[in-house]
Each structure stands twice: as structure tokens, then as C-alpha cells.
A = this chain, B = another copy of it.
Amino acid sequence: MKELDSNTETSKPVDSKVTKGLGRRNFFKVGIAGTGLAVGGAAGLTIVRRMEGIPHEYFPMPVKDDFKPIDQRNVILTFAASKTLNEKHPERIRKFGNFHFYERYKNFRKGPFQNTPGYTQLDRALAVGGWSSLQALHGPYSLSSPDGVVGSWEQTMLWESKYKFTSEKEASIAIKSAAKLYGALNCGITRRDRRWDYEPLYDPAEERELSWEKDFPFQPKTVVVILAEMDYLAMSTAPSWVTDATVGNAYSDALKIAGQVAIFLRQLGYKAVASMNDMGINGPYAVAAGLGEAARNGQVITPKHGPRIRISKVYTDLDFVECDKPRTYGVASFCKNCKRCADSCPSKAITFDDPSWEPTYSDDPDYIWHAAPGVFKFHKDAKKCFRFWTENDGGCANCICSCPYNKPDFWHHRLVDAQNVVAPGPVHRFMRFMDEIFGYGKVSEPKHVLKFWNSGDKA
């Protein structure tokens, strides 16, 4: 099953001694080569246009016809947040994580502090603060509970008459204008797709199954997908607790914005419910809405901010609205050659394999958490990923930090991205190499933690 790329030797981690041994002169030679690449990339306006991505009429990844929606209980964060499920499978929790996640959500994360850079009381306080708004907006238990505070299913403030847009395009642009005013990094609109909605839904806080037909207050037609940004500098400290802070904060922002968009739609007379990680899988919705591509690390990579984003969504019964087309940006092809996230994954949860219909790892075949067999994609092992989170007493995000698409928003990075769309595989491997030479995406760097904690010293 495991078919490795024939060129995997180039995807091995660059030995730090080799990098250091390059010397200043060679470093600049390589630097000039890289700059040349960037400038070359800029030459054709066509290439820059390609940054907008290639639109597709259909979902851009192959999905088997018999693909079944996922039971929300099988989603790792739902499972981990549920006392009942935890107790029912105690041996799994021991195997996949060293403590009960639902206690963590209730009590916030506590020590012991390891008192190494990124793991002190200061770093933990930052993380707890980051997550605290999400808890205020969603409820204290879990990211995965449907019908939370701001994501309430109750249709309060629903206006009695429907606002009539003059065209579907006008409706689409208005919703995006609103989402961006509320703080969205980007926003896309797509039709509701039952394949990406959990079935049945499950609320780990109340320990109950929920049905779309019997319990949800309306028939959703459209899904508004919202992106919130994570901080570059905080993310560069992965897998420290500082990373966890920007993850929690971006979740907070994403839910705040989704809640506001839901009220906006209700005030226009359309039913709407804001959703975080509950109710449906954000990734494929973001892909369907043209916001990015499914990547090796199991996340969505966006053309401008790479995987340094969090996703929320709003289900609505508004259907007079122009939907976005899915778009590909060359990410899948880049991922096939790069594998840097897989190299930097501390739990080896990210596959080195090419896309496939089924997971290529084998572990607990009777209980494949978070996997979506039947979608032709990079399959990662959510159990291993989760195990490291619990060992790390926080999150991880090494796969986001190390991704060559994760860059501060400087113009020359955009040029490199632009040429990437048309470059062939070997260039992708060279680009990954250059990325390491330039020092981007290193994980477990104590100096990045120090740099973050000094960042407040600017007006």
C-alpha cells in the first residue's frame, strides 16, 4: 500500500550541520538563485493571474459515489470531549491520549509547567486567554458541541420579511463585505453538501445524538465559509503553548465573525446558524467555497496565508446567492513533493504517501477516527496527532509552522507563490530546500518564543 515517491531522498530533513556549513558566500549564491527564481516568476502577468487559482465546476477532489457522511461521534474532538465515549473506550483514551480531554475543556488547561521556553506559566496563561473568548462565545465544554451560545439553533432576531437582493452576485458580495467588516480574512460561499455534514450529529456536552431532520430548525441551502488568521510569529514557536494561544484566539475570532454573519442574515429575514467544528467538516466546505486546497497535513492551504488560518461557517436557508467555484492553486502538486510537514510532525501522524482513497496507515481498523475513506486525498492519522497534543499538554501545529506556504505577507513571497503554480515537481523540491536554507518554518526554536514575547515592544 505504501508507495513512496521515487524521489523521497530529497524530502528528508536538511541536516542542520549542512545548513550551517554552507557558509556566507554560498548562502548568498543560493540566495541569489532564489531571488532569480522569484524575479523569473514575476515576468509573466499570466502567472500572477494564476494566483487567483483555476476555477472548477465540481468539487476538485475525487469522491466515491458511496461516500457516507461521518458519524460525529467518530470525530476525534467530539469523542475526546465526551465523558460517555471516553468511559466506554477507556483503553482507547489511554492509547490515544494521556488524560480526559473533556476535563481539560471544562477546567481550562492546567500545569504542570515545564519551565522551558514556550512551556512556562506565562505561555500557558497566554494560551488560556486565547481560548477564553471561544469559551465565552461557544460554551465551556467543547469546540464540537452543536447549538452553542453564539451558534445557538434558536432563530432569535429573525426579521419578519426577507430582504430581496437584486441579483445572486449582489447577495454574494454583500455577505462577503459583511464578513470582512466583522474581521474575516476571507469568505467564500458554497451550497450545502450533505456529504460534509455529520450524520448523526452528536453533542458531547449534553451527551445526545441530534438529527438534522428532527432537531435542526430549518433546511440549510447554503454555507458561508469564514477564515480567521493565526499570528505568524506565535505560530513560529510551534509546538509550544504560544502556538496554542494563537490557535485559540483564531477560533475565537472565527466564531465571533460567524455569529455576527448569522445575525446579519437573520436580520435580512433568512434563517442562519453559526458553526465551529460541530455539525460539519470545515475543510471540504472551505475547498468547495474556493478558499484553498486540501493539503498533505490534513488542513486547507490558502493561496495567501497557507495553512495559517482557522475556519468557521454559517448554515443558512438563503439560496438566492452566487456560490464560489472551487479553485486549485497548485497546492496538491506542491504537497506531493514537499513533505516538510510530514518530516516535522512529532507523532508521525502525517503520511509520506501520495493521495489515496483510504488511509494508508493501519491502526484500530474498527475505529478510524477522523478519516474520510472514499475521498482521494492525503490521509493523516488523527489518533497519533491527538496523542502528541495530550503529551504536549497543548496543541502542536508543527505542520502549519513548517509549511512553505506559511509566510509573513511580503510581496516577494507572493512572487514565489505565483511561479509555483506553473513550476514542475523538481522545482517544488528545490523550493522546499530554499525555504529551509532561508530559515523559514523551523519548529521547536526557543529563540522564536523569545522573539514573540518581545513583539509587544512596538507601537
Question: Is B163's CB under 8 angstroms from A121's CB?
Answer: yes
Smallest distance from the beta carbon of A456 to chain B beta carbons, Å? 3
Task: Say yes or no: is A341 at the interface (Cβ < 8 Å to chain B).
Answer: no
Q: Which residues of B contact A452 (CB under 8 A)?
A: 177, 181
**Digit string of A112-138 for contact with B (CB within 8 Å is 1, else 0)?**
000000001110111011101100110
Question: Is A231's CB under 8 angstroms from B108's CB?
Answer: no
In the complex, A234→B177 CA distance in Å?
10
Most B CB within 10 A of own CB, among A121, A133, A186, A246: A133
Closest B residue to A268 by CB, please name it. B125
Smallest distance from the beta carbon of A257 to chain B beta carbons, Å? 8
In the complex, A259→B253 CA distance in Å?
13
**Digit string of A125-160 for contact with B (CB within 8 Å is 1, else 0)?**
110111011001100000000000110000001010
Task: Say yes or no: is A174 at the interface (Cβ < 8 Å to chain B).
Answer: yes
Smallest distance from the beta carbon of A236 to chain B beta carbons, Å? 12
In the complex, A452→B126 CA distance in Å?
35
Task: Say yes or no: is A74 at the interface (Cβ < 8 Å to chain B).
Answer: no
In the complex, A183→B234 CA distance in Å?
12
In the complex, A457→B236 CA distance in Å?
31
Question: Is A453's CB under 8 angstroms from B163's CB?
Answer: no
Task: Say yes or no: is A50 at the interface (Cβ < 8 Å to chain B).
Answer: no
Task: Say yes or no: is A264 at the interface (Cβ < 8 Å to chain B).
Answer: yes
Tell which of B136, B256, B267, B455 touches A177, judged by Cβ atoms closer than 8 Å.
B455
Q: A133-B256, A264-B125, A264-B126 are in contact. Are A249 and B182 (CB under 8 A)?
A: yes
Tell which of B252, B265, B456 touches A174, judged by Cβ atoms closer than 8 Å.
B456
In the complex, A439→B180 CA distance in Å?
25
In the complex, A175→B453 CA distance in Å?
9
Q: Which residues of B contact A268 (CB under 8 A)?
A: 121-122, 125
Task: Say yes or no: is A271 at the interface (Cβ < 8 Å to chain B).
Answer: no
Task: Say yes or no: is A245 at the interface (Cβ < 8 Å to chain B).
Answer: yes
Smallest distance from the beta carbon of A4 to chain B beta carbons, Å? 35
Q: A181-B245, A234-B181 are in contact. Are A264 and B129 (CB under 8 A)?
A: yes
Question: Is B454's CB under 8 angstroms from A126's CB?
Answer: no
Q: Which residues of B contact A130 (CB under 8 A)?
A: 181-182, 260
Task: Say yes or no: is A263 at the interface (Cβ < 8 Å to chain B).
Answer: yes
Question: Is A181's CB under 8 angstroms from B246's CB?
Answer: yes
Q: How many residues of A contact B (CB 8 A)?
A: 61
Closest B residue to A165 by CB, please name it. B122
Q: Which residues of B contact A159 (CB under 8 A)?
A: 121, 125
In the complex, A157→B163 CA distance in Å?
44
Task: Say yes or no: is A45 at the interface (Cβ < 8 Å to chain B).
Answer: no
Smallest distance from the beta carbon of A269 to chain B beta carbons, Å? 8
Most B CB within 10 A of own CB, among A121, A132, A261, A453: A132
Question: Is B256's CB under 8 angstroms from A178's CB?
Answer: no
Residues of A264-302 at the interface with B, using a CB-CB cut-off of 8 Å, are: 264-265, 267-269
Question: Is A182's CB under 8 angstroms from B129's CB?
Answer: yes
Q: Which residues of B contact A265 (CB under 8 A)?
A: 125
Closest B residue to A265 by CB, please name it. B125
Question: Is B245's CB under 8 angstroms from A122's CB?
Answer: no
Q: A125-B268, A174-B456 are in contact. Are A231 and B181 (CB under 8 A)?
A: yes
Q: A122-B268, A173-B456 are in contact. Are A132 and B181 (CB under 8 A)?
A: no
Closest B residue to A249 by CB, please name it. B182
Q: Which residues of B contact A269 (CB under 8 A)?
A: 121
8 further A-B pairs in the complex, CB-CB below 8 A; given A125-B178, A128-B157, A133-B182: A122-B163, A125-B264, A125-B265, A129-B264, A177-B456, A181-B231, A183-B253, A186-B459
A residues sitting closer than 8 Å to B (CB atoms) are 52, 108, 120-122, 124-126, 128-130, 132-133, 136-137, 149-150, 157, 159, 161, 163, 172-183, 186-187, 231, 234, 245-246, 249, 252-253, 256, 259-261, 263-265, 267-269, 303-304, 452-457, 459
Q: What would be 7 A-B contacts, judged by CB atoms less than 8 Å apart?
A: A108-B157, A128-B157, A173-B453, A176-B457, A181-B249, A183-B249, A303-B459
